[in-house]
Structures are given as C-alpha cells and as structure tokens.
Amino acid sequence: MTALATDDVGKRYGRRWALRNCTLEVPEGRVVGLVGANGAGKTTLLHLAVGLLEPSEGAITVLGGRPGAGADQLARVGFLAQDAPVYPSLTVGEHLRLGRQLNPRWDRDLTDGRIARLGLDLGQRAGKLSGGQRSQLALTLAMGKRPELLVLDEPVSSLDPLARREFLGDLMELVAEHGPTVVLSSHLLSDVERVCDHLVVLAQGQVRLEGPVDELLASHRVLTGPRRDTRSLPSGQHLVQESHTDRQTTLLVRTTEPILDPRWTVADIGLEELVLAYMSRPATDGPAAELAAVPS
Amino acid sequence: MTWLAWRQFRANAALAALATVAVVVVLLATRDRIAELAGQDLPTGYKSLQLLGTALIGTPAVIGAFWGAPLLARELEMGTHRLAWTQSITRHRWLATKLAVAGLCTVIVTAVFSLVFTWWSQPLDHFGNRIGTANFGQRGIAPIAYALFALALGTLAGAVLRRTLPAMATTLVGFFLVRFTFQLVVRPHLLAPDTATLPNNLFGQREGQPGVSGGWIMSSKTVDAAGHALTNTQIDQRLAAGCDARRETAIGELARCADRLGIHDVVKWHPADHFWPLQAGETAIFLAFTAALAVGSFWWIRHRTA
C-alpha cells in the first residue's frame, strides 16, 4: 500500500498557487525526505497530507483514506508541526495526559519511557523548555499515538547542531523500533542524507525529482569532456543540467544505460549536488513528476 | 477532550468566580441601603440602580472579549491548533467541547448576576419599572443570551482574524453595536405596544393623574377630540379660546375645561406584564444569532484554517 499518494494536487491561497500539479507516490515503510527552498510548498504539501488543509484541486490519499476525514484517519497519522508548537502554560506531564486522552491507541510505555530517558521534568511548564526539549516533547506526542505515518515539518531547523544530531538519532531509533513511514521536510540536505532513503524535491510549488535515494544516485551521471553541442545526446540520456567553459562541457544526465562515448569522463554524483541541480532548473509547463520519473 | 478544554479554561473560570463573588458581596452589602433609599431618597436610589445596571451591561462584552476572542485566536497565534487538530479527534468535536465549557461558565456567571441584580433592585421596582431600557437587559433571561452571543461573536472573530487583540476589539465594538441597535430598533416592535387614552396631563401640572406607571413608554402625544395631534402652542391656543382659561388659571378649572374640549393624551407603551414576553422574544433572537455565529466558526475552522 502507498503511504501517501497525490494526483495532480494543487493548493491556492488567493491567487497564488503554493503547490501545483503535484503528483507523487510514497511507498510504505520509507523515510522520505522532502526538500526544497523556503516557499517551495513543503509545508503546504505536509499540511495537505495530515488533513490540516484541503486541496484546491486534485486528490490526495494517505494510507488509503482521505486526510483528516475523521477520528480514525487522524489516529493513523502523527504530525510534528514546524517550530514544534506546545501549550506554554501546560506542563510536560499535562501534555502527556492530553495525548493519552485524545488518542485511543496511545502508547504509554513509549512516551513515559522516552520522557524519563530524555530527563524531562513532568512538572515543568512547556513554555520553559529549551528548543531541543520542546521538539523532543512534540515528537513524543506525535509518536505516542503510534501512527502508521509520521509527518515532520522542519523538525530540526530551529535546533543547534548537537540537538539536531540527537533529535535525528532518536527519531531513527523510534522508526527502527516501531516502523512507521516517515515524511520529513528540511532545507538541510545533510540531515536528509543522513536519515532518508526516499527523496522528493519541490521547487516553486512543483515536484522536480522523486524516488528512492539509491536509485536516484545510481541513475545520474556527471559527464565531463571537450566542449560540444548537447543536442546530440543518445536517446537514453536525459539532460538535467549543462555548463560550458571555452574548452570544456560538463553535463548532468539521467540514464540507466552505460555511457559509451569515450570522450566523456564519467563520475557519480552526490545527493546534495543532485538536489541542487534539480532545484535550480527553471519551472516546466507540464507536470514535473513526468520529467523526474525514474525509469525502473 | 473535556479535561483539556477545562484545563485551558480554568484560569478564566477562577477569575470569573472571584469577580462574581465580589459583585454578589457588594450587592448583599448594599441591599439594605437600597431598601432604605427606596423609602426616603428615591433619586439617589435610582442613581445607584443606574450605576450598577450600566456596570452589568458590560458583562457579556467582557465575556465575549476575554473568553470568546482568545478561544481560537490564541491557538492560531501560537500554532497550537496544529497540535490539537492532529490528535485523534476531529476539530469539530474539539471546538464543540471548548465552546461547551466556556458556554456553561458563561451561563452560570450571567445567571447569578441576573438573579442577584433582580433581587437587589426589587425595593425600587415598586416605584420605577423593570421593563424600561435602564435595566431590562441586566435581569431575566436576556443577559444570558447576550453573553452567549458575545462568546460566539468573539470565537468567530478570533477564527477569522487569527489574532487575539484585534478579535477582542472587534468583539467589543460588534457586541455593543448589535446590543444597542437591537434595543433601539427591534425590541419596541417585538410585541405590539398597548395604547392608553388618558386625560391631558396639562404640561405635568394635573394632579392625581392616573397615568401609566411601571411600564415602558414608546410615545406620548396630545390630541383633540377628532384625534389630531396638537403641539404645545396649539394646546395653549385651544385652552385660551375654548374656555377662557390659560396656564396660569387654577389647575382644577383648566383640567375640567380640557376634558370638556376633548383634549386628551394618547400613550403607546409596554406595560409591566410585557416584561416576560419581551424577554422571551429577545432571548430567542439572540440565541439564534449565537447559533448562526457558532455554525460560522465551525465552518471557518474546517474550510478556511490550517
């Protein structure tokens, strides 16, 4: 079953489209990194997935249901919103009580154990917690309901490097132990690289690239050679990015076939360069997912 | 969910309990003095009544601004609605519970105020009226409906404006606008006023005037035998011409003359027994407003908020 599927989804705020022609399919059991510049539509897509927003056009399916369609659907999806909102005047313990009372599948052992391990004081008001502690509390709430899909919106962007590392390590432990599908957005590629095995690149409200990380890396090659025209590439090679100096041409191509032309020096590409190449491509008219689709 | 709604509201409830106790204590302490004043110094008694009545007019507005406006606006401001709305509970049930807790406290506070105020002003009611605009809205069941209306208005304003302070300001202005427009324009017509035909009161000089008392006077005019309205000058002229009498003439003689000429007063008024029908009508209409605003809030958070 697919954890998250969107079919030509668009979301409009007034006259501005925050997300357009978004078509993607995330299989269950993955840890999906959703990357894109600020304003690319990441938060909008996540809010659609957890049912906070309704699409202006197209259809979105989460775990086979319509997001936010009812208490049952809500129970299957955990969400950690950007900046990890908590009630400042409620204590840590009261937040756990909140989670317990509002979620029928609440896992008390998991949450109590986690809070104890984190060393959080149950009587402490959430407004007095540090940014890292607040994120940990919010993650505990999201995990406590034992979701099948866990959605995290920029979970680490406000944390310092140490807290970030701890948070992601913790997240990976939870995922390994309890196995929900995870979709997390970030504009920090290093974090995505560390934890994600599936990637979705958004730019200007459109999906630019989507697929399993290893397949994406395996299907892209950097070609360097003497300067030449790029119109004569073989049909199996799709040009993603090109740059030229007076004497040299560098190309990023997507292909699953071996590069036979001996004039090219062929190199693998790193995740960061790959993402940046797709993010900097100009917007296309048609559905971007088609361009980005990885031949299987 | 009830626990969370109560946990979020309990500081408000505690403050309201304190305020209610304070008001009740003040009224208990001053009731004897009012009874005394009713016997001796009616004007001072009325002044106190008006002062208290005016203070209590603000109760629903305060409830709307401090309980209604932040109900959604504070969540939206802090982003905690994204925490609440992604628990395993629909946002409609979440809002319904929050509104129920706030609504129940609203009913309790305003009902206590209404009862205590009614009891406190009873000694004065023998002389004045309870249906006039000075204190109609602070007693009976109408203040409960006003307060629920203000609560729903604040809630919707908070949902739409997404910020607490502007929502509070909007609630205050909106509540008083509706409340007083209603009092001036709608309330007099909720029920057809009675018409009383009385001997002319001779510019307030006639003694032993039966008049209308304990009621709410809509209009009063002096007419001649044919039913044409008369101005003060015309009354003077008719009296001067018709019976060789002027204002300076002995009142008894003038009165007999006016009666002979058929000059009399026509008063449109709501007598005291219109109190409960008017209260019921006003309450029903404000509860309908409340329901409409609440439906608006539910719709808004479902379709216009994330």
Cross-chain Cβ contact A78/B303 below 8 Å: no
Query: Which site among A44, A52, A90 would you substitute to test the B interface, given the most B Cβ atoms closer than 10 Å to its Cβ?
Result: A52
C-beta neighbour count of A59 within 10 angstroms: 11
pLDDT greater than 60 at residue A284: no
Q: Give the pLDDT band (50/70/90) at residue B247.
A: low
Q: Which residue has the higher pLDDT, B41 or B142?
A: B142
For the ranges A162-166, B146-150, B197-201, the maximum mean pLDDT occurs at B146-150
Task: Output the pLDDT for position B37.
Answer: 79
What is the domain partition of chain A in residue ranges?
A: 2-211, 214-292
- For residue A157, the distance in angstroms to the closest alpha carbon of chain B comes to 17
Residues of A with CB below 8 A from B76's CB? Answer: none
Q: Are A195 and A169 in contact (CB under 8 A)?
A: no
Identify residues of B whose CB sits under 8 angstroms from chain A CBs: 1, 3-4, 7-8, 11, 78-80, 82-90, 93, 303, 306
pLDDT greater than 50 at residue B291: yes
Task: Output the pLDDT for position A232.
Answer: 75
Q: Which residue has the higher pLDDT, A9 or B306?
A: A9
pLDDT greater than 80 at residue A296: no
Partner residue facing A86 (CB), from B7, B83, B89 = B83
Q: Which residue has the higher pLDDT, B159 or B42?
A: B159
Query: Which site among A102, A105, A150, A183 would you substitute to test the B interface, given the most B Cβ atoms closer than 10 Å to its Cβ?
Result: A102
Q: Give the pLDDT band (50/70/90) at residue B210.
A: low
At position B16, the amino acid (one-letter code) is A
Q: Are A253 and A274 in contact (CB under 8 A)?
A: no
Phi (first) and psi of residue A91, to 5 degrees: -80, 170
Q: Provide the angle, in degrees to the nearest 10, between the axes of the packed helices B2-40 and A92-102.
A: 100
Partner residue facing A83 (CB), from B7, B11, B79 = B79
Mean pLDDT is lowest, of A64-73, A223-232, B104-113, B242-251, for B242-251
Phi (first) and psi of residue A11, to 5 degrees: -135, 125
Q: Are A178 and A146 in contact (CB under 8 A)?
A: yes
pLDDT greater than 50 at residue A292: no
- For residue A280, the distance in angstroms to the closest alpha carbon of chain B comes to 29
Task: Output the pLDDT for position B245.
Answer: 55
Interface A-B: count of C-beta contacts within 8 A? 72
Digit-coded pLDDT (tens) for B28-56 = 888 888 888 777 777 777 777 777 777 78
pLDDT greater than 50 at residue A288: no
What angle is formed at CA A77 by the lines to CA A72 and CA A80, rounded to 5 degrees?
A: 140
In DSSP terms, A151 is beta-bridged to A79, A183
In 3D space, the residue among A230, A241, A244, A238 whose CA is nearest the CA of residue A276 turns out to be: A241
Gap between the Cα atoms of A180 and A147, Å rounded: 6
ipTM over 0.95: no
Gap between the Cα atoms of B145 and B111, Å rounded: 10
Task: Output the pLDDT for position B99.
Answer: 97
- For residue B167, the distance in angstroms to the closest alpha carbon of chain A comes to 20
Query: CB under 8 Å to A278, separation ≥6 — which residues?
Result: A201, A203, A208, A209, A240, A292
Mean pLDDT is lowest, of A107-111, A150-154, A168-172, B43-47, for B43-47
CATH of the structural domain A2-211, one choice from 3.30.930.10, 3.40.50.300, 3.40.1180.10, 3.40.50.10490: 3.40.50.300
CA dihedral B298, B299, B303, B306 (to 10 degrees): -20
Cross-chain Cβ contact B306/A50 below 8 Å: no
Identify residues of A whose CB sits under 8 angstroms from chain B CBs: 47, 50-54, 68, 70-72, 74-75, 77-79, 81-83, 85-90, 94, 97-99, 101-105, 138, 141-142, 145
Instruction: Give the distance from CA B55 to its chain's centroid.
Output: 12
Please compute the mean of the pLDDT values over residues B191-201 and round it to a whole number. Answer: 85
Q: Give the pLDDT band (50/70/90) at residue A212.
A: very high
Residues of A with CB below 8 A from B306's CB? Answer: 47, 52-53
For chain A, what's the residue count? 296
Gap between the Cα atoms of A123 and A101, Å rounded: 18
Percent of the residues in chain A that have a pLDDT greater than 70, as a whole number: 95
Residues of A with CB below 8 A from B7's CB? Answer: 90, 94
DSSP secondary structure code for residue B42 in this structure: H
Q: How far is CA B84 from CA A45, A46, A152, in A?
A: 19, 16, 15
Residues of A with CB below 8 A from B82's CB? Answer: 52, 79, 81, 85
Q: Which residue has the higher pLDDT, A64 or B122?
A: A64
Digit-coded pLDDT (tens) for A31-87 = 999 998 888 899 999 999 999 999 999 999 999 999 988 999 999 999 999 999 999
**Nearest residue of chain B to residue A67 (CA atoms):** B86
In 3D space, the residue among A52, A1, A90, A16 whose CA is nearest the CA of residue B9 turns out to be: A90
Helix/strand/coil for A107: coil
In 3D space, the residue among B150, B159, B178 whose CA is nearest the CA of residue B299 turns out to be: B159
Mean pLDDT is lowest, of A106-115, B64-73, B238-247, for B238-247
- State which H helix or E strand residue A100 sits in: helix A92-102
Return the HEC string of A174-194: HHHHHCCEEEEEECCHHHHHH
Gap between the Cα atoms of A84 and B294, Å rounded: 29
Task: Output the pLDDT for position B216.
Answer: 85
Cross-chain Cβ contact B86/A51 below 8 Å: yes
Please compute the mean of the pLDDT values over residues A256-272 and round it to a whole number. Answer: 87
Mean pLDDT of chain B: 88
Helix/strand/coil for B71: helix
- State which H helix or E strand residue A200 sits in: strand A198-203
In DSSP terms, A61 is beta-bridged to A5
Please compute the mean of the pLDDT values over residues A123-142 and round it to a whole number. Answer: 93
Cross-chain Cβ contact B87/A99 below 8 Å: yes
DSSP code per residue over B228-295: -B--HHHHHHHHHHHHS--TTS-HHHHHHHHHHHT-EEEEEEE-GGGHHHHHHHHHHHHHHHHHHHHH
pLDDT greater than 90 at residue A185: yes
Task: Output the pLDDT for position A291.
Answer: 42
Partner residue facing B88 (CB), from A52, A85, A103 = A103
